[in-house]
A and B are shown apart, each in its own frame.
Chain A
Amino acid sequence: MSSHSKDHDHGHDHTAFQKDITEPKEDWEFLEIAIRELLIEKNVLSAREIQDEIEAWEKKNPEKGAEIIARSWVDDDFKNRLLSDGNKAVAELGFTVESLKLVALENTYEIHHMVVCTLCSCYPRTLLGVPPLWYKSREYRSRAVREPRAVLREFGTAIPESVEIRVVDSTADCRYLVIPKRPANTEKMSEGELVKLITRDSMIGTAEALDQHGKRS
């Protein structure tokens, strides 16, 4: 019986988490339990708040970013506002990226942008959710700035030699959102249909958007 199941008195559905519940094994897992219990005992945090925060993050996922990109594909004026002031433009769609500068970068037939955080794991979490493990890995952080084309090839993303690759390094105060190229033959698609072509990786720049059939190009 895990300790987690004991405090299930708040009557909501936890099924999405069940598969993750395991007994602590590592020192740092015991440390997490100890810190949490002490903070709750000392009324620094409440169990409810921690749970609410976890659930709030569950709701943050790459679809938010995809909505922004889809709008920029169908509305040039919006795209220009997004490129000139990311924070202001995403606020129009109801998204706030607090106390961080948001910079949108447009991928074209001349330039392909790719985002990394060489020092840690800075990522536009409000718009894309929690970063994938590889984004935080030593390998991606080390190599993205040195051999981006090789990294892109590993991701199955073939960018022609004629296209300039520009790698941008995030900081604690500045986050990047890549606007992938709008795929060909999507002129008749609705904004809602376009959203489905915009993947997390296409907004990090390690992939392109899916093609008009929703397949990797």
Chain B
Amino acid sequence: MTKRLISDLGGLPAGSIDRSEHEPTMTERRIDAMMILLRAKPRSFWASDENRRTIESLEPKTYAESAYYERWVLAMKGLLLEKGILTEAELDAKVSEVRSREQMAKI
């Protein structure tokens, strides 16, 4: 039997649908905007299929438990590293910098 992709949800049993509306947060809007800009002309760093491939190759646990835009930003990170636009080292350093800055702002 072929293995079912983590994204292949059609027909699986599931509970009731939460139909409440949601106003996208600033973080979500920015992720959406950056994804479009990086994929669209003139940059065309990747195709929409690559975006999906990256989301679908997330760890099954990550895929199942992540928020929608969390999956998007993880995919964006994966593609930026894969295409050599950013490196793991500079991204790790930046995340630490942002964290300590936000921590300082609270004190």
Contacts and interface: CB of A to CB of B under 8 A. Distances in A.
B59 interface: no
B16 A28 contact: no
Contact of A57 (B33, B67, B86): B33
Interface string A9-38: 000000001011111101011111111111
Contacts of A130: 24, 32
Contacts of B1: none
Contacts of A155: 17, 19
A145 to B, nearest CB: 5
Contacts of B37: 45, 49-50, 53
A35 B19 contact: no
Interface string A49-89: 11101100100000000000000000000000000000000
A20 B22 CA distance: 11
Interface residues of B, number: 60
A208 to B, nearest CB: 16
Contacts of A139: 14-18
Contacts of A188: none
Given A35-B91, A53-B33, A140-B17, A120 B52 contact: yes
Interface in B37-68: 37-38, 43, 48-49, 52, 55, 64, 66-68
Interface string B22-42: 111111011111101110000
Given A17-B26, A32-B27, A146-B11, A57 B95 contact: no
B10 A50 contact: no
Nearest to A33: B98
Contacts of A144: 10
A116 B49 CA distance: 18
Interface in B56-107: 64, 66-70, 73-74, 76-77, 80, 85-86, 90-91, 94-95, 97-99, 101-102, 105-106
Nearest to A167: B10
B9 A44 contact: no
B23 A132 contact: no
A4 interface: yes
B73 A28 contact: yes
B34 A35 contact: yes
Interface SS of chain A: helix
B20 interface: yes
A154 B19 CA distance: 9
B17 A120 contact: no
Contacts of A34: 91, 94-95, 97-98
Contacts of B98: 24, 30, 33-34, 37
Interface of A: 1, 3-4, 17, 19-24, 26, 28-39, 42, 44-45, 49-51, 53-54, 57, 116, 118-121, 130, 132-134, 136-146, 151, 154-155, 169, 172
